[in-house]
Structure 1
Amino acid sequence: MALIGLRTLLAASVGGIGLLFTVGTAILLESEAEKRMSILIQEQLQEYDDEVAGDLDHGMSERYSDLLVASSLDTIRSTSASVAEKRAVLNRMKETFPAYAWIGFIEPSGIVTAATNGVLEGFDANARGWWKQALERPYVGDVHDAIVLATLLYPSDSTPPRFLDFAAPVHGTDGKVLGVIAAHLSWDWTEEVQRSVLDDAKQSRGIEGMILSKDGTVILGPIQLLGRKLSPSQMEVTGTSVSPIDFDGEEYLTSIVSTQGQGDYLGLGWRVAVRQPMSSAMLPVRELRDAVMIAGAVLSVAAVLLGLALAVWIARPLRGLSKAVEQRRRGLTGTMPVTSGYKEITTLSDAVGTYLNELNSHERRLVDSLNEKERLLKEKTTLVREIHHRVKNNLQIILSLMLVEKSRLKKNPTVSGADRLEALAGRVNVMGRLHDQFYKSENLAFVDLASQIEMLCDAIADNHHPAHENASIAIRVDADPVICRVEMAMPIGLLVNELVSNALRHAFPNGASGNIEVTLKGGDTITLRVADDGVGCGEQMPEGGIGGIMIAALTIQLNGKIQYRSAPGCVVDIAIPRETVEEEATSAEMLALTGQPAGTHVA
């Protein structure tokens, strides 16, 4: 029976295991990544869908209200008001919202008596009977072409513009219908609404939006789909789920949400669809899989070469030992029993008897070396797990902030989304700065809170831009050396950021100057104080703001107590029990971090 060489056995085993591991990892990673990516894309598409639909409903409701308000104006209702006076009112109305293409007053006889810029004044509108429906009640008409109006307003436009119709009855003081105030709203307005939400996503990820009429016809969207009626299978998707839909042979992840109307405006039955090609949506997953496969293949080849080198390294001294033992054996009687296995171990069996003591010594040294390596490996494994834990916690904080901002935007649509995103970005930036300082430290387990707070306040001061050029706000830090575990330094840093930022925003209105002082005192209770000499505050935490919510949540996380008082200005004291975050650092760690001997307060 032929024996297998050590080089062949080791190289084949290491390379085969590496290849199997790579393939299995790539398959599992692709499957899990597709699931997670689908969930993320589903949430994003539904967010875009809801935002576009909400903006459309809000805008249409405002235009509907515009006509109702205009129909009740004294100048419009007055039979004695001149055409010029009525035209002036209509022109001002158009100036407040330029998307109005035309606004006019039509008498019950069908004659346009006053209109923006005088367009169509004296025109007999009886042939276009849509406005007559408003003699009895307010009317909103779906998108359509208006050839005559387009010729007058946009004579050089090769593509006929489209309009939405709005009309409301005008009643005299006696309740008699005096006429109708009617408006054509440019369809370009809906494109602007959609573009404001989807433009960035469209450029970076190929996301497209569509507006569908009540019967499913595409009235706004990709040019190749305009005027096309979607099939029943394509219309089955609702905003509660995102599904792949086939469009001309290509699958898209698609979300469809119905507009609901707003206030007295009941809606036109539109549906808003947002889609992303499956090919681009899952491209990162495929790229990740390919990268893993390539890296795995390279590592497998490297493992085979390493196995060959290792086998040569192991076999060479064995052959040398065998030769030496054979030479010594010739002067001795008896032979060692021959063992079975691969060729090298058979050769080694002849040398074991002579060099047993030496091999025992080698074995003891090898065991000591392996124990040391195992200890080092455990330390590194613990450190990696700790880093993963920290990253997971910080991602959870960021997710919580995003969910709070999202909830606030839903409850208060008037809040600027850009402002809230900027505020969220500022908080994430603070976390990034803190992390950067943590990992620049030689000791990854502990951090000096004094230096961290000084760094953070310097960054806040650098990024602060006063509302008035002459305003001057100084931030001073007086912090005792307090050594803190890294996981507790993050919430303390976020607290400092929120309190100092709140003081900068609210303590010095109208360009006032002033001072903000941040102090940190150690002891059985760690005391963090942020005080300003501004306009002052109440005796309790402000309510309603995201900052206030964060301050309360972070204080609870630290098992602390918070107190607000005016003295004058505003003073915020947060007391943190030392036992909540206490862990003793070694003398070497204390000296490395602060230059202070052991006994300095450690949080």
Structure 2
Amino acid sequence: MAATVAGVMLLLTFATLQLVGHTLTKQVEHEIGDNLAELAFQTTDKLDRGMYERYREVKLMAERHEITDPAVPAETKRAVLDSMQDTHPYYAWIGLTDNAGKVKVATKHLLEGADVSRRPWFTAAYQNSYLHDVHEAVLLARFLPNPRGEPKRFFDIAFPYYGKDGTIVGVLGTHLSWQWAGEVERSVLRPLAERKGVDTLILSKGGAVLLGPKEYADKVLHQDSLLQAQRGGNGAQIETWPDGKRYLVGYSRSLGHRSYPGLGWTVLVRQPLDEAYQPVEALKDKILWSGLGGAALVALLVWALARDITQPLRTITRHADALQAGNAHDIPPIRSRLAEVQILQSALNALLGKVRLNEQGLRELNATLEARVLERTVELHKAVDDTRKSEQRVKAIIDTALDAFVGVDAQGRITDWNPRAEEIFGWTRAEALGRTVTETIIPPRLREGHDNGMRRFSLSASSDVVGKRLQLSAMRRHGDEFPVEMTIGLINAGDTHFFGAFIQDISVRKRIEDELARERELLDAVLDSIDVGVVVCSREGAISVFNRAAREIHGLAPAQVPQDQWAGHYDLFMPDGRTPMRKEQIPLLRAMHGELLENIEVVVKPKQAAPRHLLASGRALHAADGTNIGAVIALKDVTALKESARRLEASERRLRTITDNLPVLIAYIDRAERYQFANGTYEKWYGIAPADMIGKSVKDVFGEEMYLRDQPFLRQNLGGQAIRFEAEVAGPDGTKTVEVVGIPDMQDGKCVGTYVLSSDISEAKQHQEMLNRIARTDSLTGLPNRRSYDERLAEAVQRAQRSGHAIALMFLDVDHFKQINDTLGHAVGDAVLAEFAQRVKSSVRITDTVCRLAGDEFTVILERLKTVEEASLVAAKILKAFERPFVLDGGERRVSTSIGVAYACDWPIDIPALGNEADKALYTAKREGRGRFAVKDMRA
């Protein structure tokens, strides 16, 4: 019994160990993989956003007047550059070069006068490539402080800058310290790496390690995770690294941000599998040792219990053997806790007393026996006749009996064989008579034991099987074994004897009994293996089933106590944990009285353990005829669940407080496009309470128009792709520009919803638009500048080509403008240019575009022309506007302009050729005496 119980517990332990280990391993791999992939994505996103800021800063620096204007002193320019470096310490060096590659001005005077024309960043800036990937310092290595002796590494951003005539006059170059990327990595991942052994690697576009563990420094990797990231993927996978270890690796690739095109960096975040699976292994060890300890303890208890039960029986058996041998008269008292042992001892002693009385009676009867022999002899003759008649009656009874009857003589040969025996064993009476019973109905494996028993009986004339109901195996004619129930009678006939056996085929009954036994064993095993407490009582209220889980819950074994004491004995309380439960409230008694219970909350407070919160469900039990036979109750321990619910409620309360106070819209939308979470910012922005949004669709909350606008992004997001887009939304405070980020919620490879975060970028957009206007507007005249001119001319040519109308380009400048500057000063010159711009702009149509290129150079783009004469009329109108003198600080002065006009209506139009022709026409007007215009028709 002890070995069997221990074996079952060990089997359950190992099965639980395998199931829990496999399930937890998959769950840990999925959760940690998602976390590592998210960390890799956050790192690449932070790198891209940081690089975007640096990229935009350098670009704006290249357009600043106080840096690029040759009239600004070098000291002033250096002060501006030094201020930028002090503000952003990651700029290791900022410098201005001329077109020959000579450094004119630089931060801290470093490399001033040096030739950098062979440096890749200088040549790339002229080819519209403004980024250069990470490299070691070449010229700056000996100038920059390096207390640790580590190689200095930079990445470069360089833009050309332009003179007033719009031509490139040099390059603004910057060296950004690669230490910046290390700070990004530390801010995002270093705390996690210190706790869980997470490594971060930042790799270049070619796979070289730019930042990571020392053993991989500057090495080129070919990991599959790197290839997945370079294909644009973001995720996690398990793989083996060059050190021979297996890691769980999250990966993400830099894709740039807005105008910053990106350098193709890849971020890999890895964690050793043994670190990731450490909690799983610890739990498996705990389960294993708990199972082994439990098996050993239960086996020991079963062994002790079985030994205690069988010891008194062995003592009785020993005394019974002594009585049989005649060496004792009574069985002495035996101490045992089992009432059955005491009953057995008393019954054997009473039987011995009866045997002694019978012996005394036999001796008395023997004295009168001889006197009666004569009398019996006379009666014997009469009895012989009666016996013959009785034999006939007995034969008739045996032949019609439902059980098989087999008569056997002292030599073991069959002497009688009734019809039922023919049916059961397949032998006819004629075939069976005279055969030995051993070869006829005894299976081969039992024949030796049967023959030995017959020999022992012939020697001792006694047998333990006579007169008893036995269950044995018998054999049919064709060799099939089957179970039988047999009763053997002994008939003594003088110097010989006969046996008579009634045999019943119990195959069907045996099969049913085996099935019932298996079902009972299975039921007992299931009840003791489940974690739900099960208690069953009879209709009288006696506890008949009290499984393992129930004993653990109550800390008690079942006891037959009165029903009105159950609440106190088992420490039953109401759901508040303080109010003792009354008898009529006890779930098992309620079920006994016919009530159907489902999830009734009960608290059990064992004396030596913490209170347990239970959900009780139960019902009455009825026999097949409907008679009430008791009740059953199931107790589910929800203590941990209630504690988890309490902690979850507290966590949700904290999370709700945090999210409701963030200036960001945060929501969760399920697959059916319905809101399952929304923070309080929705009410602040739109006046919509989050509680009113839960369960409603996006269309119901924001209306058909907004839903149709954003539907493609939402469908893409719920398809498993992360999204980012900008949208205009109206609210109580006016229209906002929001940036929407959608992160899909992936479970088992399927998207079950999406997390949506929307931030207000209205001020950032306005700031960006203001910067764009400043970058494209001439600060003196308010006209579009050279950069804007190039864009607007290209757009005008495209419109003209689509509409089929002609287009004309005018080049204008102020006649003798240098003389005005030299005689009247630059302030007067600026006033002339401002007035010049206003007169030109007021002379053209609203659909025409007036731009200032540089100095006194202006252009006019004329659209929707039908003939060249229309362009001439506009030019004449402009000349007429300058007939009126300019009112300046020094008095009135006449100012004239020369105009060159290029007219085109043949497609396609070569934009550079159009500008060249307008420039040639301008010089033609100047040669002819200024204050006039010249037209070049490009059809000629």
Structure 1 letter corresponding to 2:238: S
Equivalent pairs counted in the alignment come to 405
Structure 1 letter corresponding to 2:252: V
Secondary structure at the counterpart of residue 144 of structure 1: strand
Stretches of structure 2 lacking an aligned partner (at least 5 in a row) = 311-335, 359-463, 473-536, 551-586, 590-598, 603-613, 617-634, 667-677, 697-940
Matched, 1:145 2:141: no
Bigger radius of gyration among the two: 2
Matched, 1:319 2:460: no
Shift of 1:294: 0.6
Q: Residue 135 of structure 1 contacts residue 179 of structure 1 at CA under 8 Å; is this kept in 2? A: no
Matched, 1:276 2:450: no
Secondary structure at the counterpart of residue 156 of structure 2: strand
Query: Structure 1 residues 398, 26: CA separation in 2 closer, same or farther (over 3 Å shift)?
Result: farther
Matched, 1:368 2:390: no
CA distance in 2, matches of 1:386, 1:551: 32
Shift of 1:71: 0.9
CA distance in 2, matches of 1:551, 1:288: 43
CA distance in 2, matches of 1:266, 1:406: 35
CA distance in 2, matches of 1:397, 1:261: 40
CA distance in 1, matches of 2:246, 2:690: 43
Residue 43 of structure 1: aligned partner: 34
Q: Residue 211 of structure 1 contacts residue 219 of structure 1 at CA under 8 Å; is this kept in 2? A: yes
Q: Select between 393-402 and 247-256 the one with higher mean Cα deviation.
A: 393-402
Matched, 1:247 2:235: no
CA distance in 2, matches of 1:321, 1:55: 87
Q: Residue 256 of structure 1 contacts residue 271 of structure 1 at CA under 8 Å; is this kept in 2? A: yes
Counterparts in 2 of 1:230-245, with a 5 A limit?
230-231=221-222, 233=224, 235-238=226-229, 239-245=234-240
Residue 76 of structure 2: aligned partner: 85
- Note the alpha carbon deviations across 1:236-289, whole angstroms, 9 max, x for none: 444234232333211111122111001111111111111111111111111111
Shift of 1:125: 1.6
Secondary structure at the counterpart of residue 202 of structure 2: strand
- Note the alpha carbon deviations across 1:294-350, whole angstroms, 9 max, x for none: 111001111112212333455551434432332334345899968889xxxxxxxxx
Equivalent residue for 1:171, pick from 138, 162, 176: 162
Secondary structure at the counterpart of residue 94 of structure 2: strand
Query: Structure 1 residues 185, 364: CA separation in 2 closer, same or farther (over 3 Å shift)?
Result: closer
CA distance in 1, matches of 2:642, 2:211: 46
Q: Residue 103 of structure 2 contacts residue 113 of structure 2 at CA under 8 Å; is this kept in 1? A: yes
Query: Structure 1 residues 541, 125: CA separation in 2 closer, same or farther (over 3 Å shift)?
Result: closer
CA distance in 2, matches of 1:554, 1:67: 48
Matched, 1:107 2:98: yes
Residue 28 of structure 1: aligned partner: 19
Residue 424 of structure 1: aligned partner: none
CA distance in 2, matches of 1:322, 1:543: 89
CA distance in 2, matches of 1:53, 1:63: 15
Structure 2 letter corresponding to 1:143: V
CA distance in 1, matches of 2:686, 2:144: 48
Matched, 1:57 2:71: no
CA distance in 1, matches of 2:304, 2:470: 25
Stretches of structure 1 lacking an aligned partner (at least 5 in a row) = 1-8, 342-362, 421-494, 507-539, 556-603
Structure 2 letter corresponding to 1:282: Y
Q: Residue 209 of structure 1 contacts residue 273 of structure 1 at CA under 8 Å; is this kept in 2? A: yes
Residue 266 of structure 1: aligned partner: 261
Shift of 1:159: 1.4
Residue 113 of structure 2: aligned partner: 122
Secondary structure at the counterpart of residue 261 of structure 1: coil
CA distance in 1, matches of 2:296, 2:545: 29
Matched, 1:290 2:285: yes
Secondary structure at the counterpart of residue 244 of structure 1: strand
- Note the alpha carbon deviations across 1:7-35, whole angstroms, 9 max, x for none: xx2x1232111111111101111001101
Structure 2 letter corresponding to 1:197: V
Shift of 1:127: 3.4
Share of identical aligned residues, percent? 30
Counterparts in 2 of 1:519-558, with a 5 A limit?
541-543=683-685, 549=690, 553=694
Counterparts in 2 of 1:461-540, with a 5 A limit?
none
Higher strand share: 2
CA distance in 1, matches of 2:252, 2:658: 18
Secondary structure at the counterpart of residue 67 of structure 1: helix
Shift of 1:114: 1.2
Structure 2 letter corresponding to 1:258: R
- Give the TM-score normalised by structure 1: 0.59
Query: Structure 1 residues 121, 294: CA separation in 2 closer, same or farther (over 3 Å shift)?
Result: same
CA distance in 1, matches of 2:245, 2:545: 58
Equivalent residue for 2:195, pick from 204, 214, 223: 204
Q: Residue 76 of structure 1 contacts residue 170 of structure 1 at CA under 8 Å; is this kept in 2? A: no
CA distance in 2, matches of 1:194, 1:24: 43
Q: Residue 225 of structure 2 contacts residue 236 of structure 2 at CA under 8 Å; is this kept in 1? A: no
Query: Structure 1 residues 222, 234: CA separation in 2 closer, same or farther (over 3 Å shift)?
Result: same
Query: Structure 1 residues 53, 402: CA separation in 2 closer, same or farther (over 3 Å shift)?
Result: farther
Higher helix share: 1
Residue 14 of structure 1: aligned partner: 5
Structure 1 letter corresponding to 2:690: I
Query: Structure 1 residues 218, 35: CA separation in 2 closer, same or farther (over 3 Å shift)?
Result: same
Q: Select between 386-395 and 49-58 the one with higher mean Cα deviation.
A: 386-395
Residue 559 of structure 1: aligned partner: none
Shift of 1:97: 1.3
Residue 180 of structure 1: aligned partner: 171
CA distance in 2, matches of 1:83, 1:264: 30
CA distance in 1, matches of 2:238, 2:652: 27
Shift of 1:126: 2.2
Structure 2 letter corresponding to 1:240: G
Residue 385 of structure 2: aligned partner: none
CA distance in 2, matches of 1:251, 1:298: 34
Secondary structure at the counterpart of residue 180 of structure 1: strand
CA distance in 2, matches of 1:150, 1:42: 40
Residue 57 of structure 2: aligned partner: 66
Equivalent residue for 2:252, pick from 257, 260, 264: 257
Structure 2 letter corresponding to 1:182: G
CA distance in 1, matches of 2:346, 2:183: 89
Residue 133 of structure 1: aligned partner: 124
CA distance in 2, matches of 1:115, 1:211: 30
Query: Structure 1 residues 210, 112: CA separation in 2 closer, same or farther (over 3 Å shift)?
Result: same
Residue 225 of structure 1: aligned partner: 216
Structure 1 letter corresponding to 2:212: G
CA distance in 2, matches of 1:36, 1:402: 26
Q: Residue 147 of structure 1 contacts residue 160 of structure 1 at CA under 8 Å; is this kept in 2? A: no
Q: Residue 102 of structure 1 contacts residue 116 of structure 1 at CA under 8 Å; is this kept in 2? A: yes
Equivalent residue for 1:328, pick from 336, 346, 350: 350
Query: Structure 1 residues 370, 327: CA separation in 2 closer, same or farther (over 3 Å shift)?
Result: same
Equivalent residue for 1:308, pick from 303, 321, 340: 303
Q: Residue 125 of structure 2 contacts residue 159 of structure 2 at CA under 8 Å; is this kept in 1? A: yes
Equivalent residue for 2:205, pick from 191, 214, 239: 214
